[in-house]
Amino acid sequence: MSADLPDVRQTRLDNYVDRYAARTKGMTASEIRALFSVASRPEVVSLAGGMPNIAGLPLDVVGSAVRDLVVDNGAVAMQYGSGQGDPRLRDQICDVMRLEGIEAHPDDVVVTVGSQQAVDLVTRVFCDPGDVVICEAPSYVGALGVFRAYQCEVVHVAMDDDGVQPEALEQAIQDVRAAGKKIKFFYTIPNFHNPAGVSLSAERRHKVLEICARADLLVLEDNPYGLLGFEGDPYRALRADNREGVIYLGSFSKTFAPGFRVGWAVAPHAVREKLVLAQESATLCPPVFSQLAVSSYLSRHDWLGQVKQFQEMYRERRDAMLAALAEKMPAATTWTRPGGGFYVWLTLPESLDAKAMLPRAVTARVAYVPGTAFFADGFGSQCMRLSYCHPTPERITEGVARLAAVINEELELRQTFGPLKPGAGRDYDAPGPELS
Ligand SMILES: Cc1ncc(COP(=O)(O)O)c(C=O)c1O
């Protein structure tokens, strides 16, 4: 073996395993990840990945904005900045949020490294090990990873086509408190949910706010997809109707580009101060270069026109997926009908297990994310998330046809050999861009 190549035999075992903090226990990559390396091959139609489709971005506009930024303002752009984020960008963020009914002052905004970091900072500020976070069932895999890393207990609350069920939320709050546990917040994705593909109805928004206010429970409103609706005006944010009880998280990852890693939190004043301190201890400040680039893009470009183009592009893909599902899926398969965003949540006929079926699907050259990835408690084995954001409409149609064939074969197998044993168990997975 050459002297400068590492000896693979020595890198195989983890010599540090008994030294890691307890919080790293859940930080593992599951076997789903190994399958995803196969799923990224060109012959596989991946309905798994949730990365934004930025092929339509005007790179010449972005390029000239970045160039001017370096030439005209490089000494500022490449310096440390404020822990709370650039004041001009915070002002522009307030304009963005006004589209969803939020009246905020730039002082209320904390810029973060994507909204992912905002989830992390809020959890860091509020949660001790053992504290409960209430989440929808299913919920965003990246947030579940954060809650696990801070050793929180996640309690899931049922959803339907109108979003989280208010009665189930109220019951969960009562049950957790009756068990003597502390709930720190209710984490919700009200618009074009990842992974469920549904939105909280206007009527339920009021009910959810009422229930949480009555229970004196903070709401963590995570809203990266709110401007990517396919019909009508954006939904009114929960934060628009309750400034003290809601922490709102936003992001430029889906409306512009995730590569800049710019997101934000808007919080009640006292919480905002804690978030800035947490941000300073995590990163000193969010990257100034990224913030100024985003700020320049917003001011020099018709960014809302670009968002409209994204909406059209995603709508076409959503339509292709829904049409293919209606045409190809066997009876007793159900799915959600998203009004925006990237995802459809599909429920298989009763005897099937999406995780067990995945290797067979990948062999048939189609990939999805099994539902268990979106639950902290092992549920979701009968479900899967299908993303329509990336493949072309033709590839989506082909991918759904392949998936339907796999499901039909699996149904035949189950009819011959009987159902699989229940209890697929927990499916912990570190959050990663391919799962996002
Ligand atoms: C619901 C939800 N929240 C947060 C994020 C993180 O987004 P970012 O950190 O890129 O802003 C994602 C990304 O997919 C998401 O789907």
pLDDT tens string 131-159: 999 999 999 999 999 999 999 999 999 99
Which ligand 1 atom is nearest residue 50's CA? 14
Range name among 33-42, 230-239, 244-253 with the lowest pLDDT average:
33-42
The Cα 46–Cα 94 span in angstroms is 36
* pLDDT tens-place string over residues 394-404: 999 999 999 99
Centroid of ligand 1 to alpha carbon of 265 (angstroms) = 13
Nearest CA to ligand 1 atom 12: 436
What pLDDT, on a 0 to 100 scale, did the predictor assign at position 26?
Answer: 72
The verdict on whether omega for the bond into residue 286 sits within 30 degrees of 0, i.e. cis, is: no
What pLDDT, on a 0 to 100 scale, did the predictor assign at position 416?
Answer: 84
Q: What is the mean predicted confidence (pLDDT) over 103-130?
A: 97
Q: What is the mean predicted confidence (pLDDT) over 285-312?
A: 96
What pLDDT, on a 0 to 100 scale, did the predictor assign at position 338?
Answer: 98
pTM of the full structure: 0.93
Band (40; pLDDT cuts 50, 70, 90): confident
Is residue 97 within 8 Å of 266, Cβ to Cβ? yes
| Tokens describing residue 416 | 């011959």
What pLDDT, on a 0 to 100 scale, did the predictor assign at position 424?
Answer: 44
Range name among 50-64, 121-135, 307-321 with the lowest pLDDT average:
50-64
* pLDDT tens-place string over residues 85-109: 999 999 999 999 999 999 999 999 9
pLDDT higher than 60, residue 9 = no
What pLDDT, on a 0 to 100 scale, did the predictor assign at position 1?
Answer: 45
**Locus of tokens 């309905």:** 47
Q: Which of 54, 140, 369 to mutate to test the pocket of ligand 1 (most atoms within 8 A of CB)?
A: 140
What pLDDT, on a 0 to 100 scale, did the predictor assign at position 39?
Answer: 76
Q: Which of 121, 147, 194, 343 to mutate to test the pocket of ligand 1 (most atoms within 8 A of CB)?
A: 194
Centroid of ligand 1 to alpha carbon of 18 (angstroms) = 32
Q: Is 380 in the pocket of ligand 1 (CB under 6 A)?
A: no
The Cα 421–Cα 117 span in angstroms is 38
Q: Is 340 in the pocket of ligand 1 (CB under 6 A)?
A: no
pLDDT higher than 60, residue 428 = no
What pLDDT, on a 0 to 100 scale, did the predictor assign at position 88?
Answer: 97
What one-letter code names the amino acid at 133?
V
Q: Are strands 246-251 and 218-222 parallel, antiparallel or unpaired?
A: parallel
Nearest CA to ligand 1 atom 5: 116
What pLDDT, on a 0 to 100 scale, did the predictor assign at position 38?
Answer: 75
Q: What is the mean predicted confidence (pLDDT) over 293-311?
A: 96
Nearest CA to ligand 1 atom 13: 436
What pLDDT, on a 0 to 100 scale, did the predictor assign at position 414?
Answer: 84
pLDDT higher than 70, residue 179 = yes
Q: What is the mean predicted confidence (pLDDT) over 408-420?
A: 84
What is residue 181's three-state secondary structure? coil
Nearest CA to ligand 1 atom 14: 436
DSSP one-letter string for 349-402: -TT--HHHHHHHHHHTTEE-EEGGGG-SSS--TTEEEEE-SSS-HHHHHHHHHH
Band (427; pLDDT cuts 50, 70, 90): very low
Which ligand 1 atom is nearest residue 115's CA? 11
Which ligand 1 atom is nearest residue 140's CA? 1
What pLDDT, on a 0 to 100 scale, did the predictor assign at position 415?
Answer: 82
Q: What is the mean predicted confidence (pLDDT) over 378-384?
A: 94
Band (426; pLDDT cuts 50, 70, 90): very low
pLDDT higher than 90, residue 285 = yes
What pLDDT, on a 0 to 100 scale, did the predictor assign at position 436?
Answer: 63
Which ligand 1 atom is nearest residue 119's CA? 4
Closest among 343, 368, 366, 342 to 355, alpha carbons compared: 368
pLDDT higher than 80, residue 430 = no
pLDDT higher than 50, residue 410 = yes
What pLDDT, on a 0 to 100 scale, did the predictor assign at position 6?
Answer: 58
Band (423; pLDDT cuts 50, 70, 90): very low
What pLDDT, on a 0 to 100 scale, did the predictor assign at position 99?
Answer: 97
Centroid of ligand 1 to alpha carbon of 91 (angstroms) = 22
Average per-residue pLDDT for the chain: 92
| Tokens describing residue 370 | 């099994």
Which residue would you say has higher pLDDT here, 23 or 244?
244
Q: Is 291 in the pocket of ligand 1 (CB under 6 A)?
A: no
Which ligand 1 atom is nearest residue 258's CA? 10
DSSP one-letter string for 4-68: TS--HHHHSS-TTTTTS-GGGGG----HHHHHHHHHTSTTSEE--------TTS-HHHHHHHHHH
